[in-house]
Each structure stands twice: as structure tokens, then as C-alpha cells.
Amino acid sequence: MSCVGRRRKPSRPNTPGHLETFRQLSAKERAKAIRLSLRESFDADELQTTWQKFQNASRRLALLTRLPLLWLIAVTPFAIVALGPLRTWPYLLGGLFASSLIVSIAFVRVHRRQLPAAADRWLHAVSMTLFPIASIRAVDRISKERVAGFNPLTVIAVFCGEDDADPLLRRCGFDLDRADAPAGEPAVASCREWYRAQKRAAFTELLKALQRNPFSEPAKSDETVALYCPRCHSQFEDGITDCADCEAVALVPFEERKRA
């Protein structure tokens, strides 16, 4: 099930001109564009589709990035031990350059297909040709840019397990819900609060799509605890009112105590 339903998807908001595009719209159209952009950045289905397509497109590149590594850790030590460094170093250096060049060429092809508007393609290609460490990490150069248009919380929720992702999702979601009223000019404060409301709605849609609830009550660590922090899930004995780690967050009693 999609986070926000089926819709026409404009270009991913990961370019410097995106805010300029918003500015040129009318107030009504700007609100729609910002709302759609936020929902797309929290779209778990689109992230999974984007990542799967990237994995398929970069499979050959991922295999080629092993060439410089194998040359460094296998061919080079064997040649030096067997034939000596003085006789082999020109060939070893040439082979390392050739393997990095092969990766660089493959990188340019994948990068052109995956990120046609990117401007730093050749800079990365040159660095990979000259520095084997860069060529070994060629896939990472593209993967980070492919997910850059998605909200970090979406990336965490999709790629990390619940035990690792839920604490951060809970903290950020809690902070979104209890954000202080914005200060300053009324018009500016109103815009900020509207944006927060749209972000909260998009975050809620993300959790619904993934069928996750990081805010559910934690299991008791032992029978002596009576309250827990709704933000970090630290647990406390009776008599404590505020969390020691989260600023000004009131503790919540466990459900069994509420019923009692």
C-alpha cells in the first residue's frame, strides 16, 4: 500500500533550484507543491522502488569495484613476494590504474542513467581513476545521491530494523508533535506552524504505510519501575516526574498502573 496513493510524481526535490521553483508559484499552488514534496520525501514505497532499481542498475558496477581491491590485496603481494618489487612495480602500478579506469568508465555510465542532471560526474570519475580507494567506493557515490531526495527518517525506517530505527523515529516524531509555538512575526510563525503540520501528517502516513508504531508502551525492565519517558522510553521508579535525559518531558505511567 502506498503512503499517499497513486499520483503524478514531479522531479525529486534534491536540487538547489527546487526552492526557487516554489517561490515562483502562487500562494495556493505553492502550498500544494510543498505538501506534495513532503509526502513524496516520506514515501516508503517510492524509496524502496528507487533503491531496487538502483540495485539492479549498479550490479555490474558493484562487481567491477572489486577489481582494484583484489589487485591490491591479492595480485600485488603475490607478485612482490614471487618476483620482487623492483621488477614488478611498473606492472603493478599500471594494473592498478587500469582496474580503476575500468571502474571509472562503468561509474560514468551508471551515473549518467541514474542521475542525468548531476554536474559532478566527471570530477568523481577522475578521482576514481587516480585514487583506487575512491573507485572501490564507486557505488556509494551514486547511492547517496539516489536517496538524497527522501527524508532521513524515511531512509532510516526503510533500511534499518525496528530495534535500531524506532528509537530515533520516536524521538523525532515526539519532537514534531510537541514543537513550541513559533515566535516572531505572525505571518512567519503561521507559515512555520503550517509546515510543521504538513511534516507531521507526512510522517504519520509513513508510519501507517510501514505498519509501525514506535510510540507504543515499552515492556517493563523490572517490576520496580512505574513510569516511562514517552520520548526515549527510559524507565523510572515511582516519585519521579520528569525524564533525566529529555528536557521537560513528563513521565507516563504504565497501562497496568493506569487501570489500577
Q: Which pLDDT belongs to residue 82? A: 94
> Which residues does residue 242 pair with via DSSP β-bridges, in sequence order?
250
Q: Which pLDDT belongs to residue 184? A: 66
> Residue 63 and residue 60: Cα distance in Å, rounded?
5
Q: Which pLDDT belongs to residue 10? A: 41
Q: Which pLDDT belongs to residue 28? A: 82
Residue with the three cell numbers 530494523: 161
Q: Which pLDDT belongs to residue 180? A: 64
**165: which residues sit within 8 A by CB, 6+ positions away?**
156, 157, 214
Residue 47 contacts residue 150 (beta carbons within 8 Å): yes
Query: Would you list the DSSP string of 27-51?
Result: HHHHHHHHHHHHHHHT-HHHHHHHH
Pairing label, strands 235-237, 225-228: antiparallel
- Is the Cα torsion angle 109, 114, 115, 117 positive or negative in sign? positive
pLDDT < 70: residue spans in the chain: 1-18, 179-184, 256-260
Q: Which pLDDT belongs to residue 75? A: 96
The amino acid at residue 97 is F
**145: which residues sit within 8 A by CB, 6+ positions away?**
14, 114, 115, 118
Residue 227 contacts residue 239 (beta carbons within 8 Å): no
**65: which residues sit within 8 A by CB, 6+ positions away?**
103, 135, 136, 137, 138, 139
How distant, in Å, are the alpha carbons of 55, 61, 93 from that of 142?
11, 11, 27
Residue 87: all three cell numbers together: 621488477
Query: Would you list the DSSP string of 144-189?
Result: HHHTTTS-HHHHHHHHS-HHHHHHHHHHHHHHHHTPPPPPSSHHHH
Dump pLDDT digits (tens) for 35-73: 899 999 999 999 999 999 999 999 999 999 999 999 999
> What is the reported pTM?
0.78
How distant, in Å, are the alpha carbons of 102, 134, 213 from that of 192?
49, 41, 26
